[in-house]
Amino acid sequence: MARIKMLTKQEFDPELRQLIDVDNKAPLEVGNVRIYAHCPELAKAFVRFMGVVRKPALLPRRLIELVRLRVAYHNQCRSCMAIRYNDGVRNGVTEEVVCQLETPDEARDLTPAERAALRFADLLGTNHYAITDETIEDLKKYFSEAEIVELGMNIAIFIGFGRLSMAWDMVDELPERFKVRGDKPITPWGGDAIVVGKSRS
């Protein structure tokens, strides 16, 4: 059970409930907002902010979803790892591709641009002090500066809010293997993911 109570739609602030159209979404699509709803004004600000971040922009949805899953692995955020978002799936994030996130630099189905973005996500998520001029120059081979900003902001969101979700142990509705805590890291690859929504959380 999550360490912080996940509110039901009936317990949501009316404006928040309307803002995310909670009555027409499955609980997993509402995601961590069910906890943020304890603080309605913060939750509404978060939803509005993420609405802007999630709009189709410069980077492909496939790239964003791959980066999200790799960061989720580093965070060991089980709710993040268990979910696939439709916009990524529709743009080529198959379970075969997700399996290749175990060793992205060796992955046959990832583009050089995707590998560069994943290297940056790895460093930002695990050792940001190791990011150098060369790291950013590597990104610039494939991305404009605006795209690098978009990539960085997405990664920062995935790191911070993913760690928060992990700390709150949001695993109630997940496949069984994501509920078990053990000595070995859990992975996003495994073929038992849940596809939800059309955007990322």
Q: What is the pLDDT of residues 85-135, one digit of tens each?
A: 999 999 999 999 999 999 999 999 999 999 999 999 999 999 999 999 999
Q: For position 97, what pLDDT does the model report?
A: 95
CA distance from start to end of the chain: 20
pLDDT band of residue 39 (cuts 50, 70, 90) is very high
Average pLDDT for residues 44-58, to the nearest whole number?
91
Q: Per-residue pLDDT for 77 more than 90?
A: yes
Domain extents in the chain: 9-54, 61-196
Spatial distance between the Cα atoms of 58 and 143, rounded to a whole number of angstroms: 10
Would the CA dihedral through 6, 8, 13, 19 be positive or negative?
A: positive
Superfamily of domain 61-196 in CATH is AhpD-like (1.20.1290.10)
